[in-house]
A and B are shown apart, each in its own frame.
Chain A
């Protein structure tokens, strides 16, 4: 049995401009030690999917479908049951760590508080703190513990939230854009650190940084306008990208030519008929404008939502 099975997940938000279909019928599976990269741009629905998994969305968000964790549907769980799972078995490494941390408390106090929640006694928590900080790469854990979040750099904050997420030894880590805004050195270090700490865990790596995902993950899933457009092994997706959007993203990388994808992603309140990418697609055919393509299995576990592969 897979650790996490997402079945036909739909997340919609009611807004003044209409219903925003942030996640539209997404199916994903993640094994116990698997590392899956969820790649997409701003507005693709990847963060919403992660927050929906942990039931961290606002109350008026409508979630349909199933999120099965070890057979249990998380969308049916009571708040008490969720509290037992969230942070403990399923942990989120939030985006913008410097904003996610409590600005009024030292790093040490926040770690201490979390460790106490995890069941450590006061003495044990104080002893475990430096160990936890060292495990995320702090040479001098005591000075880190005394610092406030605003005194820490982006890379340090990222490590601290990773430490916080590990306090309970979760079986699944959801890392939401952990390398965003970091310089290349810190980015490399965070990627290495994530690789180390997820050796025996499942990881859902949410990012728009294709290269980072390719380094850490075995499988990649690409989202566009709320739906999955490509899913497959890392090597297959990188060496033989099927969906024109995937190809566009790869060619937009500075190392591969920095070619922009023309146009913009469609508004989620007014999605076009047919394929959601067709207006920006260099290979669109007549069918793409009128018929919405399903996710096709092109063989070897490589899926693509594109009429070119029927």
Chain B
């Protein structure tokens, strides 16, 4: 259903801690993956890894710098204006903050009707009936129809946003941390609903999250991102049981030592974040690679087309459907 190849999103920005330097920021760096109809793919990574940027790029809410996004056979990068507008209803977003993703000046019913009318012209009564049906689908009380988003709780707003997305009967739903701001039991309600609807409608879901437990529950496959790159991809159970890339391992096993600081911090995942050239909240992976990978004596020649890269890396299938990004010429020690 979705085929992404070498997707790159590059921001040229003057915003920098060092104000004398303008630099380019590669939010998404040559990411490639595909999704089958009906599957749920989790996209995980720490803050700043590029997950949201990738989601927005797929939705074409940010136009990618380069690469290809084929959705049901159509190349989205080649579309513009009207053609893109026509395909948009089939890929819908669900954002992290439901209160701000809904129009604060529109009642819930009106927001839903607006979305419904995009599909086909509807009479007032029909629009209302369909909107109420949508609300029933997402388990929202019909009394909330005439309320404004600020009058609803976070969980109710997220359901309204979900109803609005489903109004267009999308093929693909891109959910960007849909429950991160919600309480634990509300999260369980919203995610349970999402799972139910997925099964009922065969909805394809790209689930962006930093919560690995949620991803384990919701997704068939998982993709791990770090500093804009896809570093590991595979079946959820396999990746979580057998993580190969150091970034995946650090996500799965963050060193949770509570107590006095040991006198020497020899963990390279020391609790520090430094803003560096690639942006904020990005770790240097080099220390890991030096630790974990043994450089092979024979080096592969650099591949053509990798203009902005000072390291050669490639996705290698290390076991059935389990891909890991490793530097060319390196070999696994385990």
A binding-site residues for B, Cβ under 8 Å: 41-42, 137-140, 143, 146-147, 151-156, 180-189, 191-193, 195-196, 199, 208-210, 215-216, 248-249, 252-255, 258-261, 264
Q: Which residues of A contact B273 (CB under 8 A)?
A: 137, 139, 153, 155-156, 186
Q: Tell me the nearest residue of chain A to B181, going by C-beta.
A: A181
Q: How big is chain B's contact interface, by range? A: 35 or more
Q: Which residues of B contact A41 (CB under 8 A)?
A: 183-186
Q: Closest Cβ of chain B: how far from A238's Cβ, in Å?
A: 14
Q: Which residues of B contact A248 (CB under 8 A)?
A: 185
Q: Are B216 and A151 in contact (CB under 8 A)?
A: no
- B 270-290 to A, binary, CB cutoff 8 A, 1 in contact else 0: 111111000011000000000
Q: Which residues of A contact B189 (CB under 8 A)?
A: 260
Taken together as a complex, chains A and B put the C-alpha atoms of A204 and B102 apart, in Å, by 35
Q: Are B275 and A185 in contact (CB under 8 A)?
A: no
- B 99-117 to A, binary, CB cutoff 8 A, 1 in contact else 0: 0000000000000000000
Q: Tell me the nearest residue of chain A to B49, going by C-beta.
A: A183
Q: Closest Cβ of chain A: how far from B148's Cβ, in Å?
A: 15
Q: Are B213 and A195 in contact (CB under 8 A)?
A: no
Interface: B268 (CB within 8 A): no
**Interface SS majority for chain B:** loop
Taken together as a complex, chains A and B put the C-alpha atoms of A185 and B271 apart, in Å, by 9
| Residue among B192, B213, B256 making CB contact with A253, cutoff 8 Å | B213
Taken together as a complex, chains A and B put the C-alpha atoms of A185 and B47 apart, in Å, by 9
Q: Closest Cβ of chain B: how far from A198's Cβ, in Å?
A: 10
Stretch at the interface among B77-85, B128-136, B257-265: B257-265
Taken together as a complex, chains A and B put the C-alpha atoms of A40 and B145 apart, in Å, by 29
Q: Which residues of A contact B75 (CB under 8 A)?
A: none
The total of interchain contacts (Cβ-Cβ below 8 angstroms) comes to 126
Q: Are B211 and A184 in contact (CB under 8 A)?
A: yes
Taken together as a complex, chains A and B put the C-alpha atoms of A147 and B189 apart, in Å, by 39
B15, B185, B281, most chain A CB atoms within 10 A: B185
Q: Tell me the nearest residue of chain A to B97, going by C-beta.
A: A181
Taken together as a complex, chains A and B put the C-alpha atoms of A155 and B185 apart, in Å, by 24
Interface: B255 (CB within 8 A): yes
| Residue among B46, B185, B191, B216 making CB contact with A249, cutoff 8 Å | B185
Q: Are B46 and A185 in contact (CB under 8 A)?
A: yes
Q: Which residues of A contact B17 (CB under 8 A)?
A: 143, 146-147, 151
6 A–B contact pairs at CB < 8 A? A140-B275, A151-B15, A156-B280, A182-B47, A188-B255, A254-B214
Q: Which residues of A contact B181 (CB under 8 A)?
A: 180-181
- B 175-219 to A, binary, CB cutoff 8 A, 1 in contact else 0: 000001101111111011000000000000000001111101100
Q: Are B258 and A139 in contact (CB under 8 A)?
A: no
Q: Which residues of B contact A254 (CB under 8 A)?
A: 187-188, 191, 211, 213-214, 216-217
Further 10 A-B residue pairs, CB within 8 A, beyond A140-B274, A143-B274, A186-B46 = A137-B271, A140-B275, A151-B275, A151-B280, A183-B47, A183-B210, A189-B254, A215-B258, A254-B214, A260-B185
Q: Closest Cβ of chain A: how far from B189's Cβ, in Å?
A: 4
A137, A139, A153, A210, most chain B CB atoms within 10 A: A153
Q: Which residues of B contact A187 (CB under 8 A)?
A: 254
Taken together as a complex, chains A and B put the C-alpha atoms of A186 and B257 apart, in Å, by 13
Interface: B250 (CB within 8 A): yes
Taken together as a complex, chains A and B put the C-alpha atoms of A153 and B47 apart, in Å, by 8
Given A143-B17, A186-B46 in contact, is the A252-B188 Cβ separation under 8 Å? yes
Q: Closest Cβ of chain A: how far from B171's Cβ, in Å?
A: 26
Taken together as a complex, chains A and B put the C-alpha atoms of A260 and B15 apart, in Å, by 43
Interface: B67 (CB within 8 A): no
| Residue among A138, A147, A153, A252 making CB contact with B184, cutoff 8 Å | A252
Taken together as a complex, chains A and B put the C-alpha atoms of A132 and B10 apart, in Å, by 35
Interface: B4 (CB within 8 A): no
| Residue among A143, A183, A192, A253 making CB contact with B258, cutoff 8 Å | A192
Taken together as a complex, chains A and B put the C-alpha atoms of A252 and B199 apart, in Å, by 21
Interface: B24 (CB within 8 A): no
Given A184-B212, A258-B191 in contact, is the A210-B254 Cβ separation under 8 Å? no
Q: Are B251 and A185 in contact (CB under 8 A)?
A: yes
Given A42-B183, A196-B261 in contact, is the A143-B275 Cβ separation under 8 Å? yes
Interface: B98 (CB within 8 A): no
Given A154-B47, A182-B47, A188-B254 in contact, is the A139-B212 Cβ separation under 8 Å? no
Q: Are B254 and A155 in contact (CB under 8 A)?
A: no
A155, A184, A185, A259, most chain B CB atoms within 10 A: A185
| Residue among B45, B180, B257 making CB contact with A192, cutoff 8 Å | B257
Q: Are B211 and A208 in contact (CB under 8 A)?
A: no
Interface: B146 (CB within 8 A): no
Q: Tell me the nearest residue of chain B to A142, going by C-beta.
A: B17
Q: Which residues of B contact A182 (CB under 8 A)?
A: 47, 210
Q: Closest Cβ of chain B: how far from A186's Cβ, in Å?
A: 6
Q: Are A152 and B280 in contact (CB under 8 A)?
A: yes
Taken together as a complex, chains A and B put the C-alpha atoms of A147 and B275 apart, in Å, by 10
B39-62 interface (Cβ within 8 A of A) = 45-48
